[in-house]
Structure 1
């Protein structure tokens, strides 16, 4: 008798619904904060310049905090560590509106702390999710996580603007503080994630173990950077085509919703081929869709390219998570997810700086195509590296124990 295909309905347990609630409460502040910091500062003497600086400090905090705190999760007591990080982050979120007239260094330090303290949470929560379901349900669980994430990212900008303009400039950050504190407390109702591998192998991951996943990190950063180019250059592209830049918001919201739909569809069935091959196919298709943004005329052409790119991009991120899970031993998953989160942040930040430079030298379309070319080059390097390592897990112990005995 054939085995029934796993369904999303199989994820509807009390534990996983609680996980979804905690994930929602912990991800929403991350999605809201950069724009919320801009609105917090727009009427201050520092204006938008200070707001951009605070947003940069927040992202830098995430980039630094994710790998540093993520590597500690393998030592156990994951709930306590994640809860403490979220509570410190909540305090930083809540303090910023109260001291908005403080000197810039104080505000920058608080923004950095707000980003750094809970930065291990995305990786830790993803590791807890995959440990809570059977192996054949992991792709659907990660697809559900990606769907939830994209819905949050689609709703966050509108919510920030509404609260900042209609309630108070600090209201979005206060809401973020409340949500982070709620997630911190709810974490203690979630069972402590238990690793399935033997205790003797569940040692703390070394730097060499984590770095062995570099091809996956690299491709993830490349995919994020390519789409960051499209997002950041979008206002200039609209203006270049004599389209109102006010369409930027609806177009990016549509992109996020399309990504949610794509992630949901990916988890509906089991797809042929390895997750490595699926990732390369999906990334190539996404690159083609981003190219359409520069080739199709008018607002409808830009919208079509972005929506299609969103649908396939979410599949890239899900398959990258699955590839990382296959490549590294279980005790390193939480730390590796955190490292990948940090690398994606670096990719986004570098792309933001590079896009600003390129726009001074070329047209918006050329800037997007340049980002696409760089993405394809990085993807080729990563694919060659992954192909060379593809046969290792079959020939060597799956725990990669040799990686823990570096010189």
Structure 2
């Protein structure tokens, strides 16, 4: 169970395709702000366009993810990414269009490719031996963290140094290139629809709600760091220009954390690991809000990134315990939407509080909300683990029985092995991708 287990040309191809599909997502919110900033009410319009983009993601991910067929995933992904490229191109080609038109393009750019993270992640885990699934998810998180670290500087440099429309045109080109790259990947992954035990997709996904709640909590703290950090620095009399380097440190910490998580097995069940990581993450964000020195704030944010990456990988592994292989792509897509909701909800809470309280207090309120979500998710997972499958007249739940025993002791890769049937386990590599559940 090492990173060498996933070294193959197919995984490298998947990584290149994922960069084309995911870098535009990392660039989009800031690029939309720069696109609108020179128009009357520019920042308000930019925020509205960014909101339309995120709403598109939240709506599109579950709707499209639930309709993805495992054996024909590639055409589905290609169509969504192509439509997303059209949305980005429309924003870049018609930057002076009516705000309603720009909003429609932003909605299309966010919604059409929103199932791609879930589909690509499922392809990735089918690409590698089953024993290397934890490493594959960690490597995906490292890649996404790198993209989120690079994108702010790239967008700012292109928008201010060349033209505000250029980042969106680049995003369109990258997403279109990812469509072409999909031809080098397998058409889908192996999954038997009969593994659902006669349950509908909606009911299966609903049973995983505790995992979605905790996933939303993990991204909620990132929302606090990104959106309130400039105001926090200003409160301390520190230049807001430091917010960029501090957020880069957060992303780099996440990349390091994802790498460390995949290096070895870890003790305890996935549920316990998740709670411990989320509590540690909350402590780090709290320290960043309360410590008055910028250098120590930077240290706290880097540590927060390290713990956040582990929390996100743990959530993805937990989802594999709960859902059968045929529902994984849809489950990852719903997770993508859930973390988007958590990000938006906590950011909105902090934004609503800022006019009335200090930025540090707004951050603490967001941390409290995150801890509530973490407790709710953990209690829900505990209840699901204790509930006998026979009480519902169903077969054994994914992750029950032997899987539950494996989950209680150590190896993340072994947990996945025993929790779900192999998804193309030792077969020919099949690519995949995904999101640190965006931002994740």
Deviations 1:107-145 (A, max 9, x none): 100110010110000011111111222221110000000
1:385 aligned partner: 380
Counterpart check, 1:297 vs 2:292: yes
1:201 matched to 2:195? The reply is yes
Show the counterpart of 1:74: 69
Say yes or no: does 1:149 pair with 2:144: yes
Note the residue ranges of structure 1 that are not aligned, 5 or more in a row.
Answer: 1-5, 401-407
1:190 aligns with 2:190: no
TM-score, normalization by structure 1: 0.93
* Structure 2 partner of 1:3: none
Mapped to 2, the partners of 1:290 and 1:186 lie a distance apart of 39
Query: Which region of structure 1 is more displaced relative to structure 2, 69-78 or 30-39?
Result: 69-78
Query: Residues 329-350 of structure 1: CA distance to partner in whole angstroms, max 9, x if unpaired?
Result: 1111100110111111111112
Change (3 A) 1:293 1:225: same
Which position in structure 1 is the counterpart of 2:80? Answer: 85
Q: C-alpha separation between the residues in 2 aligned to 1:124 and 1:16?
A: 14
Bigger relative contact order (CA 8 A; separation at least 6): 2
Counterpart residue number, 2:426: none
Q: Tell me the matched-pair count.
A: 394
Number of the residue aligned with 2:155: 160
User: What's 1:216 paired with?
Assistant: 211
Contact between 2:254 and 2:305, CA under 8 Å: does it hold in 1? yes
| Structure 1 residues 22 and 280: CA distance shift in structure 2, 3 A | same
Structure 2 residue ranges without an equivalent (≥5): 400-440
Hey, what does 1:43 align to over in structure 2? 38
CA, structure 1 residues 152+175, in 2 after alignment: closer, same or farther (shift >3 Å)? Answer: same
Is contact 2:71-2:189 (8 Å) kept? no
Residue in structure 2 matched with residue 404 of structure 1 by the alignment: none
| Equivalent-residue separation in structure 2 for 1:52 and 1:366 (angstroms) | 23
Tell me, yes or no, if structure 1 residue 31 matches structure 2 residue 31. no
| TM-score between the two structures when normalised by the length of structure 2 | 0.86
C-alpha deviation, 1:394, in angstroms: 8.1
Q: Tell me how far apart the structure 2 counterparts of residues 199 and 247 of structure 1 sit (CA, whole Å).
A: 51
Does the 8 Å contact 1:290/1:305 carry over to 2? yes
Q: Secondary structure at the match of 2:66?
A: helix
Is the contact made by 1:279 and 1:320 (CA closer than 8 Å) also made in structure 2?
yes
Report deviation, 1:393. Answer: 8.1
Partner deviation per Cα, 1:251-289 (whole Å, 9 max, x = no partner):
001100110010011001111122222111111111111
2:283 maps to 1:288: yes
Partner of 2:364: 369
1-side partners of 2:121 and 2:70: how far apart? Answer: 17
Residue by residue, what CA displacement relative to the aligned partner does 1:179-232 show, whole Å, maximum 9, x if unpaired? 101111111210123225x45336895211111110000011112112312321
Q: Alignment partner for residue 345 of structure 2, among 336, 345, 350?
A: 350
Rounded Cα–Cα distance in structure 2 between residues aligned with 1:393 and 1:319: 24
Bigger shift: 92-101 or 309-318? 92-101
The answer to whether residue 256 in structure 2 is matched with residue 261 in structure 1 is yes
- Please give the alpha-carbon distance, in whole angstroms, between the structure 2 residues aligned to 1:246 and 1:213: 41
The answer to whether the 8 Å contact 1:74/1:332 transfers is no
Post-superposition shift, 1:46?
Answer: 4.2
Instruction: Report deviation, 1:57.
Output: 0.6
1:397 to partner: Cα distance: 2.5
CA contact (8 A) 2:250 2:304 kept: yes
Residues 220 and 49 of structure 1: CA distance in aligned 2, closer, same or farther (over 3 Å) = same
1:307-349 deviations in Å (ceiling 9; x for gaps)? 1111111000000000011111111110011011111111111
Q: Distance in 2 between matches of 1:50 and 1:271?
A: 46
Q: What's the RMSD between the two structures over aligned residues?
A: 1.7
In 1: Cα distance, 2:322 partner to 2:103 partner: 37
SS class of match (2:286): helix
**Is the 2:253–2:305 contact (alpha carbons within 8 Å) kept by the matching residues of 1?**
yes
Tell me how far apart the structure 1 counterparts of residues 397 and 204 of structure 2 sit (CA, whole Å). Answer: 12
Cα drift, residue 19 of structure 1:
0.7
Q: Per the alignment, do residues 399 and 265 of structure 1 end up closer, same or farther by CA in structure 2, a change over 3 Å counting?
A: closer
* Further displaced range: 309-318 or 163-172: 163-172
Q: What SS does the corresponding residue of 2:263 show, helix, strand or coil?
A: coil
